[in-house]
Each structure stands twice: as C-alpha cells, then as structure tokens.
Structure 1
Amino acid sequence: MENILDKAYSAEDFRRQGHALIDILADYLADATTDREEVKAMPWQDPDKQLAYWQQDFQKPLQQPLDLFRDVMAKSIQVHRKRYIGHQTTPTLPVTILASAVTATLNQGMGVYEMGPVGNTLEKVMTEHLAQKLGYSSEASGFVTSGGSLGNLTALLAARAAATDIWNAGYAQGQRLAVLVSEEAHYCIDRAARIMGLGADGIIKVPVNEQFQLRTDLLEEYYQQAVAEGKQVICVVGCAGTTSTGSYDDLEAIAAFSESHQLWFHVDGAHGAPAAFSPKYRHLLKGIEKADSVVVDYHKMMMTPSLSTALIFKRGGDAYKTFSQRAQYLWTEQESEEWYNGGKRSFECTKAMSVLSVYTMFRTYGEDVFRENIERLYGMATSFAGLIKERPGFELAYEPACNIVCFRYKAEGDVSKLNQEIRRLLLEEGRFYIVQTILNGELYLRVSLMNPLTTENELQELLEQIVEKAALVRAVEA
C-alpha cells in the first residue's frame, strides 16, 4: 500500500503542481483587464446553492489540487478585475503572491526570536520605516498583527494600560471606562471597547459634520458629560479614512484636545494612513505624528495579501505594557523590552510572517510604487466624482477625500429602495461589484477604487449600467 503521508511531502509532485499553478495564476492576472462580456467581477451564487455545491464536492472522490484551485477561483470574487470596485480589498501585487508562498513554506512562529528570526527583524525594520513616514521620531516603533480589528483592540488595551492598572488588578467596583470615537468609526472600535468590558455606555460616539468628519468642536462637551456621569475617558480615536466615506478627521485638533486632558490619542489609519507616501495627499494626515498609536493596514492601500496590519506606537516602550506577563517557556528575561520576541508586544504568539510581502515590495519596487498607487486611486475618485456631478439624476454624497465615493441615483419615490434594487441587479449580473452604505439614514451606492488598472471607461460604463438598471426597477414597479 502506498504511504500517503510520504507522497504528500513529495518535492517532485510539488514542483510539477507548482509550475502548473503559476501558469493558472498568471493566466488569471493576464485576464484581469479583459473586456470580454463573460468576464465577471462577482460570480454571484445564492448562499444556499453555494453551500450545497461545496457540501457535495466534499463527498466526491479525491481529486488533484489544481482542479480544486480552478474551481475555487472561478466561484470567488475577482479582486483583480477592472470592474471590482466594491469593498476595500486590494488586488495584490503579483510579487506578493510569491512572497506568500515562501511565508507558507517557512511557517515561522514569530512569538520568540528563535522561531521567527527574520520575521521579527523585518517587522522592526518595516514598522520603524513606516513610523518615520508618518512623522514620528526614532523613539517610535511597532509590530505587525493580523488585521485592523486586532490592531485597534491592542491599541485600546495600551490606552487602558497607560491610564489604569486593570491588566493586573482587574476592574475596581464601580469603575467605568470610556472612549470617545466618531460615529463613523469602524465597527471594530465599538467591538473592541465591548470586549474590554466598557459596555455600550463606554462607547461615546461624537457626531460628524457634512463631510462625515468627527466634530471636534463637540469633544469638550461630550468629554465633560462623560466625566459628570462618573466615567473615566481613557482614549480619543480619530479616523484617517472612515470606512463608509473615507473621510479624514481633523487629527491636529483631536491631538490638541487629547493633550489638554492627558488622554491617549489613537488613530485608526487602516485605510488612509498610507497617504503619507504621497506628497500630494500627505496633508490629509496633518497631526497624525502626535498620536500615541496608529493602525495601518498594509493589506488595503499597500497591495499586500490579507491580513497584515502595522500597529505603531509613538513611544515604542508603550507596546510592552499592554501584555506584560510571564511566560518562562518562551523567554528567559520576563520583564525586559525585547523587540525580537514578538510575543511580548502582540496578542498573537504564532502568526504568519506577512511582513515578508511588504518587505519584498519595498526591495523590488521601492516606495514609489505606493505613492503611485495612492495618487492614481485618489485621483481616479476625484475624476469619478466629477462624472457623477455631470450626469443628470445622480447625487454625490460628499466630495471624496480618498478613493471611496458614495453616491446615488435619484428619482421619485423611495430613493433608498431604488438604489438597493439597482445594486442587487448589478450584483446578480456580476460584471460590476459595488457595495452600499447608510449615510444620514439614507442608502447610498459605495465604490472603493482599489484597482489601479481600473480606468474612466469602466466608471462611465458603471453609470450607464445604473441608469439602465434604474429603468428596469421602475418599469417593474409601474
């Protein structure tokens, strides 16, 4: 009988399958810019049908992995297509696909230096370089973690550690902590605060202005109200690119307020902080260098595979206070600050060496590739906003600050329902993939221009498709 395990580790089988897979992936990338009608950004299938398909597939006889990979790719959303303009998911640079294969092969631990010598070192190099781009001094440092949600949670834990001894002593009776956030902040901020035991009352949501930026003129009022209610505010969160609209808060004003009350200032820059690489858009981040911590997703505007998020601390030593504890089997010196032992600063012990993809891009193309990506996509959003304003029947929700544009098609009747139906028809057709959001209680279509290969032609085509779909919806209603 053939030994299955030994065959599964066969280097020659891997070589053959790997060469074939690279051809499949290269064909996929080459096909990404095609205008053939049958090419779809979203191969839509009802969730129950999708589940039934894979349940049946699981019961079938064994097959070659290449057949499986083709099937998975055919049924998955196609982020490299020019008409994928939905969520903030980047079309990864091809070189990062290769780097990801190396990462999977090496399978480093990262919690301690001896299990992740290169990964821990590259994290220090890359996060300190990013810190300098953001305007921090050499005192700043950070690490890479698995996504913005975990990064923001870790930052809020650091804010709590700076203001209290809860990590060691637990919550005192009647102790009520709170954070000040924009009402447009990503839901993970709310979730992180609840995980920390702050509850719904500990999440103080400050209203936004007409550009969906936090109203800094209300910070003092909301802060004093929280204090009067017996709450201890530990942190103010600013957004460098809100999720729904991509709006940048006035970070300088938030920094001044935070400093006046000695509060931790955290910036969720998951989407928009890489504007630091562009002299043209760097002004959007004015004041970010005053933040105590910043989260930046490499896997959004920096073309890296998910998940890869940098968490930067203005004072590198603050990172060690968050998870201060003993683990004799991991490191000998329990209390010392050792950048090379990642587990001392991060929630994670075992994690992927995702920083290799980032480092590979820098070493292959230099940082200008990030500048070009930012400037092309942000510029495209400005052009798209212009197209929307020129078209009768369309309404722009706000002037976009980055590559996220919200708009809607207006007609008599329930405008929100009309646009929801327009999106449904686009989704089911699959040629375009766009999403939706709620702004001031109204539904808007939302486009994230993540693919630098998308052109104005596709955006013109999208608007034409929306007009056609609106006519279909209204005809059915009539």
Structure 2
Amino acid sequence: MNAKLLQKVYEPDSFRQQGHQLIDLLADHLESSLNGRGEKVINYSSPEEEMEFWRGFFNAGSGSDFFQEVLRHTTHVHHPRYIGHQVCAPAPQAALCGLVSSILNNGMAVYEMGMAPTAMERLVTDLLAQKIGFGEGSRGILTSGGTLANLTALLSARKAVLQEDVWLEGHGKRLAVMVSEEAHYCIDRAARIMGLGTEGIIKVPVKADFSIDTSLLKQAYEAASNKGLHIFALVGSAPSTATGVYDDLDTLADFCKEKGLWFHVDAAHGGAAVFSKKYRKTMQGIDRADSVVIDGHKMMLMSTITTALLFRDGSHSHTTFSQEAEYLLQHSDEEDWFNLAKRTFECTKTMMSLQWYLLWKTYGEELFDANVTTLYDLGGTLAGMIEADPHLELATAPHSNIVCFRFVEPGLSSGKLDQINKEIRQELLEDGVFYIVQTRIKGTQYLRCTIMNPFTTEEHLRALLDRILNTGRNRISA
C-alpha cells in the first residue's frame, strides 16, 4: 500500500501531463494579464472570507481545480494595472528556473549539494560587483531577501570595525548604527536582532525631499558618542522604500571615511539602476560602499526571493560566521568560496543563481537597462500628471518608479484628507481594477504607486488618476 502510494506520487508520466497543463494555464494567464484583458488585478476578499473558501476547498474541492483557484485568489503582478508593492512581473524564464530548482532541490550548503548553482552564484556576484565599481578583491553572495542580506552586512560591519571576534567572544560595548529616518524598517529590525536596542539606532532626519540630511550627520554622531555609544556603521538608502528617494552616497562615503565607519548601502530596490545609462547617476558613490544589497526580485525581473550582498573587500564575505559542524563544514584558512553555508545565515537555500545567470546570459545587461529605464521614466510621467492637477499633491519629486501623492481639496482639514485618502485606497482595493498601496510620511497619509510592470502605459496611469479623482470627489459629496 505505502509503496504504491509513493510510486503514484512520483510517477513521471503524471508529472509530465500535469506540468504541460500547468504551463498552458500559466501561459494563458500571462497573455491575459500582459494584454490587460483580465478585468481585475485582484479579486479582493476579506481574510475571513478567504480562509473560509480554502477551508471548504480543502474539504470538498477538486485537486484538478487547485491551480486555477490559486490564480483566481491572488494578485496578478503581470497586469499593467498592478502598480502596488515592490515585486516585479517576473520573466517567464526566471519562473522556469524556479521549477528546476524545486524539482532538483539541491540545498547548496556545501559544494557537492549545489555544484552548478554555486559556480553560477560566484560568477554573477563577481559580475555585479564589477558593475557597481568594486575591484577584483570583491566578493558576493546570494541570499533570501533584503532583510536577511542587510542583517548579514551589519554583522560583517560589526566584526570588521570592532576588530573583535564577536561571533565567538561576544562584546560589552554599547554599539550603534546610523540610518536615515526614512530607511527601510528591516534596518531597524536588524539592529534590534543584534541587541543594539532603541538607543543603538541613530535615526538622522531627512531633508524636504526625504533624502538623509547629511548636514546633520556630525551632530547625530557626536550626540550618540557623548552618550557612550560606539557607532560602527552608517546605512545609506538607494532609494528609501517609502518615497523612492536616493541618499547622497558620495557625501555619506566621505563621512564614513572621516569617522572610520563601515558604509553600507541598502540598494535592494534601486541598485539595478547601475545598469541604466540614463539613471546610473542616482547611484553616484556606490563604488565607495563597503557593502551593498541588491534585490533580483524587484527591478531585475526575477521571481521571489533572491538578493545579492556584495562586499568591496571580499574577505568580509567569509569571515563573519565561524562555526564547527563536522558533518557539514570543515575549517579552512583559505577563502573556501564554494561552501556557502560559511557565508550566510542559511544552510539550505534555493538554487536562486539560476535565474540571475540565465537572464543575464540570454538577454545581456540591456534587459536590466531597458526595465529600469522604462519604469523610472514612467515614474516621472506619473509625477508630471499629478503636478498638473490641482486636486492631487506630490509628496516629493520622485527619483525612481516610486511615486507618493494624495488627493487634496481646499478647505478640508489634514485629518479629513487623511481619511479620504485611506478610503480611496480601500475602494480601489475592493474594486480590484487597479492595485496600489498606501503609506504615511511624517504623519500624513499618502497613496503610493510603484510602477513595476514595463507594460504599464501612460494611458493606464491616466485612468488610475481619473478613478482616484472621481472617488475623492464622491467621498467629499457623500
């Protein structure tokens, strides 16, 4: 009985048939989404309703309908009216790499459990490091997301700057990092995981355009030092997640050099701009960073979740973690770049390098240039449309494809406007024709669009703004 069941589960012909059917289903979904034929981006239901549906499906649904129902109950990122969170519409080739990774299931902790993807990882991270301007001594790794990559970078920074083996011996100093008040929340979270506490996170105010106010760096540094805090790193945003605004990386690098700090750049979203001939200027100074994070699943057309962490001095990529696990890891005085469990939090990880390698090999750097440039251009187009309408207000001129704005009406209080903008976003969500998100910046409620689909057009953006304006007017008159 058990043997027959297992044979049924692994039966190759059944897999072949199901696989062909699934690819046909996904190809039809892709065609419908990209062409905008699907009426909705999301068929929204409440968490309780969604839970009730899947409870019923588990008990009574047909397994043959599973993938079709998943499509009906998820957000369609390939739809040009998806203008929401910072995940891309992945290239189909990247998704196929995910299928290969899932079926081969090479965990990649040690070389022999991931020979091909390990070699590919070294190759693509070397190419990325060269692209941002690092020298031959640089090294990088791929890991599962910007949050984990940023934490790893700060752990490396702590060890490098303190010149103590904190991993083995701990530390007794009161440590701190400096960040923009608009930095991604994962930096705050990483610092707390490292035991720095609230006091060890020095948040530097931003300027009117929401970039870090570099004129306040010295003041913030001295105030923290006078409290007995030992600052070991400064984090720049390229760009910040909330507003899409890039920090002045060159000035931050100057400050780090003066104070002997580790300069880390969270370029999870916008690091791919190094490939854009038009927008590479936003990354001026990136080559002076000690470490850089770039997500493949944001602006480089890859499936979640894959992130590159790059070190200007490659020695920091393999000395942060030192552990003995004789069944898996043996001590080596050399770099030992091919045993990846020595370099990351992860032991097992997916074969994420496949999609980096294959997209780059197949289409070249021009693919990443085309995507970033198209999307950043659309960000500027949307901002121009907003500025031209007296009932819409930009939070700040965008540096990227992230645009924050709000519906406004003269004479209404800020509290009333906040409520109307919340209601606009909720109505859009429940309607499902467009998908955008929201954010609060310095206490004010904004609508937030991140244009992630290169097939979004000016006509789509105009239709979105018209719907927002009509909804806002209806809320005022209600």
Match of 1:16 in 2: 17
1:176 maps onto 2:177 in alignment: no
Match of 2:54 in 1: 54
Quote the Cα distance in structure 2 between the aligned partners of 1:221 and 1:450.
38
Correspondences of 1:124-203 after superposition (within 5 Å) = 124-164=122-162, 165=164, 166-172=166-172, 175-203=173-201
Equivalent residue letter for 1:215: D
1:284 maps onto 2:282 in alignment: yes
| Per-residue CA distance 1:97-139 (angstroms, 9 max, x = gap) | 1111111111111111011111111111001100111011111
Correspondences of 1:240-255 after superposition (within 5 Å) = 240-255=238-253
Query: Is contact 1:83–1:458 with CA below 8 Å preserved after alignment?
Result: yes
Q: Pick from 401, 404, 420 the counterpart of residue 403 of structure 1.
A: 401
Match of 2:425 in 1: 423
Q: Give % identity.
A: 46
Query: Is contact 1:146–1:307 with CA below 8 Å preserved after alignment?
Result: yes
Match of 1:103 in 2: 101
Match of 1:460 in 2: 462
Correspondences of 1:215-364 after superposition (within 5 Å) = 215-364=213-362
Query: Is contact 1:326–1:334 with CA below 8 Å preserved after alignment?
Result: no
Equivalent residue letter for 1:145: T
Quote the Cα distance in structure 2 between the aligned partners of 1:276 and 1:403.
15
Quote the Cα distance in structure 1 between the aligned partners of 2:211 and 2:458.
28
Correspondences of 1:375-454 after superposition (within 5 Å) = 375-411=373-409, 412-413=412-413, 414-454=416-456
Quote the Cα distance in structure 1 between the aligned partners of 2:296 and 2:124.
11
SS at match of 1:321: coil
Q: Which stretch shifts more, 291-300 or 405-414?
A: 405-414
Match of 2:8 in 1: 7
- Aligned-pair distance for 1:366? 1.1
Equivalent residue letter for 1:408: R
Quote the Cα distance in structure 1 between the aligned partners of 2:104 and 2:35.
35
Equivalent residue letter for 2:5: I
Quote the Cα distance in structure 2 between the aligned partners of 1:251 and 1:298.
21
Q: Pick from 73, 76, 79 the counterpart of residue 77 of structure 2.
A: 79
| Per-residue CA distance 1:10-43 (angstroms, 9 max, x = gap) | 000000011111100000000013445x621121
Quote the Cα distance in structure 1 between the aligned partners of 2:34 and 2:329.
50
Query: Is contact 2:41–2:77 with CA below 8 Å preserved after alignment?
Result: yes
Correspondences of 1:467-478 after superposition (within 5 Å) = 467-476=469-478
SS at match of 2:34: coil
Provide runs of 4+ in structure 1 moved above 6 Å.
Answer: none
RMSD: 1.2
Equivalent residue letter for 2:397: E
Query: Is contact 2:324–2:330 with CA below 8 Å preserved after alignment?
Result: no
- Aligned-pair distance for 1:468? 1.3
Equivalent residue letter for 2:339: N
Q: Which stretch shifts more, 50-59 or 242-251?
A: 50-59
SS at match of 2:475: helix
SS at match of 1:7: helix
Quote the Cα distance in structure 1 between the aligned partners of 2:174 and 2:476.
52
What TM-score comes out, normalization by structure 2 length? 0.97
SS at match of 2:239: coil
Equivalent residue letter for 2:43: P
Match of 1:44 in 2: 44
5+ residue gaps, structure 1, are none
Quote the Cα distance in structure 2 between the aligned partners of 1:132 and 1:336.
22
Query: Is contact 2:41–2:433 with CA below 8 Å preserved after alignment?
Result: yes
Query: Is contact 1:328–1:334 with CA below 8 Å preserved after alignment?
Result: no
- Aligned-pair distance for 1:330? 1.7
Equivalent residue letter for 1:14: F
Quote the Cα distance in structure 2 between the aligned partners of 1:49 and 1:234.
48
SS at match of 1:443: strand
Match of 1:210 in 2: 208
5+ residue gaps, structure 2, are none
Correspondences of 1:23-34 after superposition (within 5 Å) = 23-34=24-35
Quote the Cα distance in structure 2 between the aligned partners of 1:355 and 1:42.
30
Quote the Cα distance in structure 1 between the aligned partners of 2:35 and 2:329.
53
**Matched length:** 471
Match of 2:371 in 1: 373
Quote the Cα distance in structure 1 between the aligned partners of 2:210 and 2:76.
30
Query: Is contact 1:304–1:358 with CA below 8 Å preserved after alignment?
Result: yes
- Aligned-pair distance for 1:324? 1.8
- Aligned-pair distance for 1:325? 2.1
What TM-score comes out, normalization by structure 1 length? 0.97
| Per-residue CA distance 1:300-338 (angstroms, 9 max, x = gap) | 000101110000000111111210222222233344321
Quote the Cα distance in structure 1 between the aligned partners of 2:433 and 2:452.
16
Quote the Cα distance in structure 1 between the aligned partners of 2:202 and 2:397.
27
